[in-house]
């Protein structure tokens, strides 16, 4: 028998190098393969029949034996191998020496070597057969390695193959609750499917561009937990058994109540509605609440990361809607046509717990890895709520609004919002079945452009969208096709020329390659003033020009008008400080008047708007409208203080050239300035009270204390007092009189919001001296003067830059006027 067995031996051939082997020893690789640098053992000709005899099939579909065999195109395997090799090279350089026995391995029962790396097994699969076929009962571990690598965007696999004309399919056995079923899945769904399979591993995924240290940390985590999640996949546990699921079910209202709240959120156009598509939310709610399943109806279940993002959106919508409807902070009732019976709101939990849980869910999703529209909606709503949250709503991780916004811009670019070109048919024939229509994408991109200017102006954040990434010509060409029903699109389209110029100005301000010449800034400021007048018809003609518009569109117009007027005011303020610093008091006086008249005129513009359309602006959707002007109001009194000191110094001058008429004019000017300050601070206090926004209030009402802490020594600020006493000339006094007369005409301060009968509000009047007490009065003033002496500030508008020095920006962290990005 032994001789028979000996005669039955066959000569084996290495399928890699075609070299004959005289011994049947699978544990030793072919020496020629080793010399050629292939780190894989030989694969012999007498391998199982399913490898040797399978028919060619380049399409990646199932082979003839159906359920038991899977084929993958060789080009896909080769691309995978290149991706994984790049990660493996970083692993070799890391201090983790046992990486070949860590998470890159499949488990021993997976059907291949448990002491070799994923690269080893990928090479082995490539060497086995040009088709890359896998037997399910032996290669299941290898199969799910492919699922995991495909699903992880860190390897950019889906992007590599998305350019094919015919969508590639990756067929595999979908393991779900231990039920083995066959399915053919498009590549874009592999992310969710691989998440289901690897969801039980609490492992943080790598970013799209991992550093060696990131991989080292990942490997250390994996080696401690002794698990096999593949290369770098899921950060959370399975959502069916996630630790947050019980909390989600506890806080989520019943389906009918949830749907009604979401309906109100969109119908009332509450803050953040612009970023959401109702159809997506409604259809996702039906799936999450199992509406089509009688056994599980009304029980919240989660099957994918998209469901998690939608739940985060719903929690934020509940908080925003219930807060808006149950807190009529001005006593104005909700119109009956807009609000049905809201008695059920009393049973809804709408506390800060909703926001905290929504934030946790968003952080679990890792938005820069899970790129889909549902995640975009969740992050956008979190950003909006970060701006408008009521007092006491503090986030677990406070975060910077600029960071939130950068995340939104990243997701919008990944989803192609900036590449959409809307045609007439698309904009006017929107089907209900469309998930994310192109008109929505372009409208959202326009909104992001405006918000980018807003954040740059009021928070000093660098532009998240570069000017060369904005194809304004496409937007302007396609804007004429917007549907008449889409109020915000119509308004945003008309704002685009202003937004384009504001973007150009911001880019000049924040660019690091060169300084911003003051002459260019003056020219841009003049162009901005002209555009504002052309767009809004001027403050005095605005209400006449917009009288025929719906109240929603009118409100949106007014909100954006305030934004760009404040942007213009910031530029005036920066030029005032620049010329004051350089001793050009004629120009500094000119821009200080520009600043004061613009801000006070804007206040009157808002107050008139409040009187004319009181219910619109004081209703449930008004609270985010005036945040910009609140901030400006609480800062302009510093400039007004400086101006009043100069007028007071002029008044005390006994020189004969100041006749009695001039002194009388100065007294009138001082009286008006005092009244305007009182109105502005009171106005800001009004909105600060009813907006109840702790984050804005911190910037507004602690500013006086912040100024005092910036003082260095009494000798310095006392020495600077003399500069504050530079006298006004007679010509300047006359100009001030003329400008203040214009303010009186357009601002209508004497018909202020405090006396408006419709609002039925009695507010105490605040004056500057209530904030800066007499003892601290000069501290605030001379702190301003001390700031003028700062060398870094003096170089901001310098035409020529000294060699070897980096240019300064308009602002920096230790800025005394920290709320103005330009100073």
Tell me if 278 is assigned to some domain: yes
- Quote the pLDDT of residue 560: 81
Residue (of 340, 346, 341) closest to 326 by Cα position = 346
Give the model's pLDDT for residue 747: 55
Indicate if the pLDDT at residue 791 is higher than 60.
Answer: no
Cα–Cα distance between 690 and 688 in angstroms, integer? Answer: 6
Same domain? For 81 and 181 the reply is yes
pLDDT band at 586 (very low <50, low <70, confident <90, very high): confident
**Which pLDDT value is given to residue 588?**
77
Same domain, 319 and 216: no
Distance CA 525, CA 681 (A): 26
Pair 555, 491 in one domain: no
Would residue 821 count as lying in a domain? no
The residue-averaged pLDDT of 449-464 equals: 76
Q: Taking a C-beta distance cutoff of 8 angstroms, is the pair 15, 45 a contact?
A: yes
Give domain status of residue 763, yes or no: yes
User: Average pLDDT in the 409-425 region?
Assistant: 72
pTM of structure: 0.57
Q: What is the pLDDT of residue 54?
A: 26
Number of domains making up the chain: 5
The reply to whether 222 and 256 lie within a common domain is: no
Q: How far is C-alpha 119 from the geometric centre of its chain's CA atoms?
A: 37
Q: How far apart are CA 253 and CA 590, in angstroms?
A: 58
pLDDT of residue 134: 43
For range 171-196, the mean pLDDT:
39
Q: How far apart are CA 300 and CA 245, in angstroms?
A: 9
Residues 6+ apart with CB under 8 A from 114: 101, 105, 106, 107, 108
Rounded to 10 degrees, the C-alpha dihedral 805/806/812/816 comes to 20
Name the band, by pLDDT with cuts 50, 70 and 90, for residue 700. very low
Q: Calculate mean pLDDT across residues 381-407.
A: 66
Q: Is residue 172 part of a domain?
A: yes
403 has pLDDT over 80: no
Give the pLDDT confidence score for residue 486 in this predicted structure. Answer: 64
Mean pLDDT of 134-158: 39
pLDDT over 90 (residue 42)? no
Residue 491 has pLDDT above 70, yes or no: yes
Same domain, 650 and 739: yes
pLDDT of amino acid 111: 33
Residue 7 forms part of a structural domain: yes
For the cut 70, the answer to whether the pLDDT of residue 340 exceeds it is: no
Residue range 588-612, pLDDT digits in tens: 778 888 877 787 777 767 666 655 5
Q: What element of type H or E holds 455?
A: helix 438-459
CB 752 within 8 A of CB 600: no
The mean per-residue pLDDT over the stretch 428-444 comes to 62
Do 216 and 230 fall within a single domain? Answer: yes
- Asked whether residue 68 carries a pLDDT value surpassing 90, the answer given is no
Give the Cα separation of 782 and 721 in Å (integer). 6
Among 192-206, 259-273, 433-447, 623-637, the range with the most confident prediction by mean pLDDT is 259-273
644-683: pLDDT as tens digits: 666 766 666 545 555 677 777 877 877 777 666 666 655 5
User: pLDDT band for position 313 (50/70/90)?
Assistant: very high
Residues 732 and 584 occupy one common structural domain: yes
Q: Are residues 594 and 740 in the same domain?
A: yes
Which of 212, 235, 258 is the C-terminal boundary of a domain?
235
Rounded to whole angstroms, the Cα distance separating 100 from 106 reads 10
- Same-domain status, 398 and 425: no
Containing domain of residue 500, as a range?
Answer: 416-512
- The answer as to whether 804 is a domain residue is no
Is 700 contained in some domain? yes
pLDDT at 317: 92
* Residue 810 falls inside a structural domain: no
Q: What is the pLDDT of residue 662?
A: 74
Inter-residue long-range contacts of 488-492, CB under 8 Å, 24+ positions, other chains counted: 488/274, 488/443, 488/447, 488/553, 488/556, 489/439, 489/443, 489/446, 490/553, 491/553, 491/556, 491/557, 491/560, 492/443, 492/446, 492/447, 492/450
For the stretch 749-769, pLDDT in tens is 434 444 443 344 333 322 222
Give me the percent of the chain exceeding a pLDDT of 90.
1
> In angstroms, rounded to a whole number, what is the distance separating the alpha carbons of residues 185 and 135?
18
603 in Cβ contact with 680 (< 8 Å): yes
Element containing residue 469 per DSSP (H, E): none
With bands split at pLDDT 50, 70 and 90, how would you rate the model's confidence at 315?
very high
Q: What is the pLDDT of residue 422?
A: 53
pLDDT score of 314: 93
Q: Look at residue 532 in the predicted model and tell me its pLDDT.
A: 87
**Judgement on whether residues 610 and 707 belong to the same structural domain of the protein:** yes
Residue positions counted in the chain = 823
User: Mean of the per-residue pLDDT values for the chain?
Assistant: 57
> If you write DSSP's letter for every residue of 81-126 in order, what string do you get?
HHHHHHHHHHHHTSS-TTGGGTTTSPPGGGSS-TTS-HHHHHHHHH
- For the segment 461-490, what is each residue's pLDDT rounded down to a tens digit? 677 887 777 766 656 555 544 554 566 777
Give the pLDDT score at 370. 52
Same domain, 689 and 784: yes
Per-residue model confidence (pLDDT) at position 599: 74
Label residue 637 by pLDDT band (50, 70, 90). Answer: low
Last residue of some domain: 46, 65, 81?
46
Residues 594 and 647 in one domain: yes
In sequence order, the β-bridge partners of residue 185 are: 170
The number of angstroms, rounded, from the C-alpha of 711 to the middle of its chain's C-alpha atoms is 36
Domain ends where: 172, 206, 235?
235
Read off the pLDDT of residues 248-279 as tens digits, 9 standing for 90 and up.
888 888 888 889 889 888 887 777 888 888 88
For helices 774-788 and 627-652, angle between their N-to-C axes, nearest 10 degrees: 100
């Amino acid at each position: 028998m032994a001789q028979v067995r000996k005669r039955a031996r066959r000569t084996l051939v290495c399928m890699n190098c075609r070299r004959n082997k005289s011994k049947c020893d699978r544990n030793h690789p072919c020496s020629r393969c080793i010399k050629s640098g292939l780190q894989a053992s030989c694969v012999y000709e007498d391998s199982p029949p399913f490898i040797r005899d399978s028919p060619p099939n380049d399409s990646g579909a199932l082979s003839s034996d159906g359920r038991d065999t899977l084929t993958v195109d060789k080009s896909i395997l080769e691309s995978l191998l290149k991706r994984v090799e790049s990660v493996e090279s970083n692993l070799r350089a890391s201090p983790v020496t046992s990486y070949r026995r860590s998470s890159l391995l499949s488990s021993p029962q997976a059907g291949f070597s448990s002491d070799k790396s994923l690269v080893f097994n990928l090479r082995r699969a490539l060497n086995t057969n040009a088709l890359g076929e896998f037997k399910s009962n032996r290669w299941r571990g290898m199969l799910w390695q492919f699922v995991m690598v495909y699903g992880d965007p860190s390897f950019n696999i889906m992007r590599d193959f998305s350019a094919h004309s015919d969508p590639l399919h990756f067929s595999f056995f979908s393991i779900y609750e231990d039920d083995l079923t066959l399915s053919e899945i498009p590549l874009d769904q592999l992310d969710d499917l691989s998440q289901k399979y690897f969801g039980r591993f609490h492992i943080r995924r790598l970013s799209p561009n991992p550093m060696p240290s990131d991989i080292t940390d990942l490997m250390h985590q994996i080696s401690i937990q002794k698990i096999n999640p593949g290369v770098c996949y899921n950060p959370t546990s399975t959502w069916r058994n996630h630790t947050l699921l019980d909390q989600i079910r506890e806080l989520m209202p019943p389906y009918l109540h949830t749907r009604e709240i979401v309906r109100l959120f969109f119908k009332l156009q509450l803050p953040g509605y612009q970023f959401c598509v109702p159809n997506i939310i409604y259809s996702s709610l039906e799936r999450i609440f199992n509406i089509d399943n009688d056994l599980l109806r009304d029980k919240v279940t989660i099957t994918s990361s998209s469901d998690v993002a939608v739940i985060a959106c719903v929690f934020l919508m509940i908080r925003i809607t219930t807060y808006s409807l149950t807190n009529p902070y001005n006593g104005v009732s909700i119109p009956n046509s807009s609000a049905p019976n809201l008695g059920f709101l009393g049973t809804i939990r709408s506390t800060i717990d909703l926001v905290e849980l929504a934030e946790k869910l968003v952080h679990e999703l890792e938005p820069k890895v899970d790129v889909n529209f549902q995640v975009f909606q969740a992050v956008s709503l979190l950003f909006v709520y970060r701006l408008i949250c009521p007092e006491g709503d503090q986030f677990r991780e406070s975060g910077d609004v600029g960071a939130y916004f950068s995340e939104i811009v990243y997701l919008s670019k990944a989803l192609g919002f900036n590449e959409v070109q809307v045609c007439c048919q698309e904009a006017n024939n929107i089907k209900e079945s469309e998930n994310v229509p192109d008109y929505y994408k372009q409208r959202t991109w326009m909104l992001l452009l405006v918000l980018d200017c807003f954040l740059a102006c009021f928070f000093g954040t660098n532009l998240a969208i570069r000017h060369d990434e904005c194809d304004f010509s496409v937007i302007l060409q396609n804007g004429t096709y917007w549907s008449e029903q889409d109020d915000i699109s119509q308004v945003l389209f008309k704002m685009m020329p202003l937004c384009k110029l504001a973007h150009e100005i911001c880019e000049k301000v924040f660019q690091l390659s060169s300084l911003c010449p003051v002459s260019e800034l003056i020219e841009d400021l003049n162009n901005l003033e002209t555009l504002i007048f052309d767009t809004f018809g001027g403050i005095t003609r605005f209400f006449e020009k917009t009288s025929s518009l719906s109240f929603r569109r009118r409100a949106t117009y007014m909100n954006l008008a305030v934004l760009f007027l404040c942007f213009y005011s910031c530029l005036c303020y920066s030029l005032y400080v620049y010329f004051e610093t350089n001793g050009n008091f004629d120009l500094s006086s000119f821009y200080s008047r520009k600043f004061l008249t613009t801000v006070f005129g804007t206040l009157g513009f808002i107050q008139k708007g409040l009187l004319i359309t009181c219910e619109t602006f004081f209703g449930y959707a008004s609270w985010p409208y005036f945040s910009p002007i609140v901030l400006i109001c609480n800062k302009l009194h510093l400039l007004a203080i400086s101006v009043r000191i100069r007028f007071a110094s002029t008044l005390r001058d006994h020189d004969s050239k100041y006749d009695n008429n001039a002194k009388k004019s100065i007294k009138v000017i001082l009286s008006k300035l005092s009244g305007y300050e009182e109105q502005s601070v009171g106005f800001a206090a009004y909105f600060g009270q009813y907006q109840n926004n702790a984050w804005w209030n911190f910037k507004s009402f602690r500013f006086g204390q912040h100024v005092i802490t910036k003082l260095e020594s009494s000798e310095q600020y006392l020495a600077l007092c003399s500069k504050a006493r530079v006298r006004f000339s007679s010509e300047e006094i006359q100009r001030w009189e003329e400008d203040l007369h214009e303010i009186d005409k357009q601002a209508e301060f004497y018909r202020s919001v405090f006396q408006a009968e419709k609002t039925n509000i009695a507010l105490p009047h605040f004056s500057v001296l209530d904030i800066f007490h007499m003892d601290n009065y000069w501290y605030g003033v001379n702190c301003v003067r001390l700031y003028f002496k700062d060398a870094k500030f003096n170089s901001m508008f310098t035409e020529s830059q000294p060699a070897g020095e980096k240019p300064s920006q308009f602002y920096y962290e230790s800025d005394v006027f920290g709320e103005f990005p330009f100073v």
